[in-house]
A and B are shown apart, each in its own frame.
Chain A
Amino acid sequence: MAKIVIMGGGVSGHTAASFLKKWLGKKHEIIVVTPNSQWNWIPSNIWVGVGEMTKKEVTFPLAPVYAKAGIDYRQAKAISIHPEGKDGDDTPFITIASTEESKMGQEDEITYDYLINATGPKLNFDATPGLGDGNGQLGKHTVSVCTADHAIHASEELEKSIEKMRAGERQRFLIGTGHGMCTCQGAAFEYIFNIEHKLNDAGVRDMADITFISNESFLGDFGMGGIHFSMGGYATSSKVFAESLYAERGMDWIIGCHVNKVEDGKVSYELLDGSMGEKEFDFAMLIPPFAGVGLKVFAKDGADITSSVIAPNGFMKVDANYSAGSYENWKASDWPRTLQNPTYKNMFAIGIAFAPPHLISKPMSSPNGTPINPTPPRTGMPSAMMGKAVAQSIVDMINGASEPTHTASMSEMGAACVASAGKGLFSGTAAAMTVYPIVPDFEKYPGVGRDMNGTTGELGLAAHWVKHILHHLFLWKAKLKPGWTLIPE
């Protein structure tokens, strides 16, 4: 009997655990360790953040789902990995600390035959002074839509701003990235347009000044170096489409920007040209940068070997080329395929938890040496596909395969992204994009880096319907309801 431990129950880890249990059945043990008691369909937090959905509509309790599936669920956070076992016992194990209220902090050890790191990001609010509270949590000057609870708070603050505007007081909105090395520009894009749509619905749009602030060197970079869409015979840059929408909706933008301080009603920032600036606000949502969750790794003798397994950014090393060097030398083949740790072959990292070989966007910094460039996004579709591929590989390895048998490289897969620009059955719009491949391959697709037959984008009501339907489909799938495997990742 094999024992597979999955650290993290988000999109990636939950997908891996679900398929592992389906394919391996009762003969093998599947354990999920996650600090959250609820599963969250994160893409819809945007709608919670503008008061268009409730927390209950975007979350569900994990325990009953895992109990029904026969998956052992531990509400705990993983603390350390011991891939070589300990003195007197070679069995690898992890240490965990419970996050259940009744057993908060209680530590335990779980042995494993295979380990999947799907721990996702640490929301590194404290990386920018004033963005966090000094204890790793969201500070008091801004709101967030990264979690359902954050989004509830954001919607309450938004409602206060709307009331002020109704009373005749102008409000300044600042939405974007809160650090020079953030990812998730797409989420900020969605939130700013949903706010604008909400203000229009509330009849107060003319009382609002809305500004987008981003570390992208051009609008539409999205951490992917931009995208060229096939449109009317042209390969059209995402820069054109993004600027078009911001301009149409009357928004200003500050780009190439590293926010270096957040205070009450004001951010300070540095631009790519080295100049400094300040921007005042009444309502601000700034995405924090991501880091790894802080896992430590120890050898059999107790020596700290974290740096050999975990990259400096806190994400786990896998089969990527970490020696690619400068931007001019980057290749699509730098990106990992099997997501297997090169040292410990029974360990994998998926979703946001794996260490990318480098950025996708071109690295940039100010003359002062401040890095200001988006980091690579790992969105839901590729994260889930990684979870499924690693699950398939582990099943085959349990059955005798010496190496992983399935791959999920971001340079060999596409992503379907639907970015909401406002919710409404007949008034909503969204940008439906297909991008192939996610990581551009300029050798295979010279000039644009992507397959023009598979890279498309359009804005409209239909895309909003798609997004709303996907909300329901993916929650159905995550709850492992009948037919869940028919819904593709």
Chain B
Amino acid sequence: MATEHIKHIKPYSPQFGTMIPMGTQKFLRTCVLYQLIRFVAINIRMTILILKSHH
């Protein structure tokens, strides 16, 4: 079931009012092929930040 992983969330609890990742989003978090692309992207972003921050 698409929401099995969040069956613990009760209506009108503090957890009820936030956003929860579903199927594809959860899969992509640990999908090695997709995360290899994200690894490159994260490193590029961090490099830009480092270069911008050194004075």
A-to-B contact residues, CB < 8 Å: 240, 243-244, 246-248, 250, 252-253, 381, 385, 389, 406-408, 412-416, 426-427, 429, 432, 434, 436, 454, 456, 458-463, 465-466, 488-489
Given contacts A243-B14, A243-B18, A460-B29, contact A414 B52 (CB under 8 A): yes
User: Contacts of B53 on A, CB cut-off 8 Å?
Assistant: 381, 385, 412-415, 436
CA distance A458 to B35 in the complex (A): 11
Given contacts A408-B55, A416-B49, A436-B52, contact A459 B20 (CB under 8 A): no
Given contacts A244-B18, A244-B21, contact A460 B49 (CB under 8 A): no
Query: Chain B, 10-44, contact with A by CB distance < 8 Å: what is the 0/1 string?
Result: 00001101111100000011111001101101110
Q: A-B contact count, CB below 8 Å?
A: 94
Asked whether B46 lies within 8 Å of A244 as measured between CB atoms, the reply is no
Given contacts A247-B9, A250-B8, A414-B52, contact A460 B46 (CB under 8 A): no
CA distance A150 to B12 in the complex (A): 38
Min CB–CB distance B45 → chain A (angstroms): 5
Q: Which of B17, B21, B42, B52 has the most CB of A within 10 A?
A: B42
CA distance A489 to B48 in the complex (A): 13
Asked whether B38 lies within 8 Å of A462 as measured between CB atoms, the reply is yes
Majority-rule SS of A interface residues: mixed
CA distance A385 to B53 in the complex (A): 9
B2 at the interface (CB under 8 A from A): no
CB contact between A407 and one of B15, B48, B55 (< 8 Å): that residue: B55
Closest to B38 in A: A462
User: Contacts of B38 on A, CB cut-off 8 Å?
Assistant: 458, 460, 462-463
CB contact between B6 and one of A247, A427, A432, A454 (< 8 Å): that residue: A247
Min CB–CB distance B47 → chain A (angstroms): 8
Closest to A337 in B: B55
Asked whether A248 lies within 8 Å of B52 as measured between CB atoms, the reply is no
Asked whether A462 lies within 8 Å of B54 as measured between CB atoms, the reply is no
CA distance A462 to B29 in the complex (A): 8
CA distance A243 to B55 in the complex (A): 35
CA distance A455 to B42 in the complex (A): 12
CB contact between A461 and one of B17, B20, B35, B52 (< 8 Å): that residue: B35
Asked whether A456 lies within 8 Å of B55 as measured between CB atoms, the reply is no
User: Contacts of A489 on B, CB cut-off 8 Å?
Assistant: 50, 54
CB contact between A434 and one of B15, B17, B28, B45 (< 8 Å): that residue: B45
CA distance A489 to B53 in the complex (A): 10
CA distance A385 to B49 in the complex (A): 13
CB contact between A389 and one of B5, B20, B41, B55 (< 8 Å): that residue: B55
User: Contacts of A460 on B, CB cut-off 8 Å?
Assistant: 28-30, 35, 38
Given contacts A247-B9, A248-B5, contact A436 B49 (CB under 8 A): yes
User: Contacts of A415 on B, CB cut-off 8 Å?
Assistant: 49, 53
CB contact between A240 and one of B8, B9, B19 (< 8 Å): that residue: B19
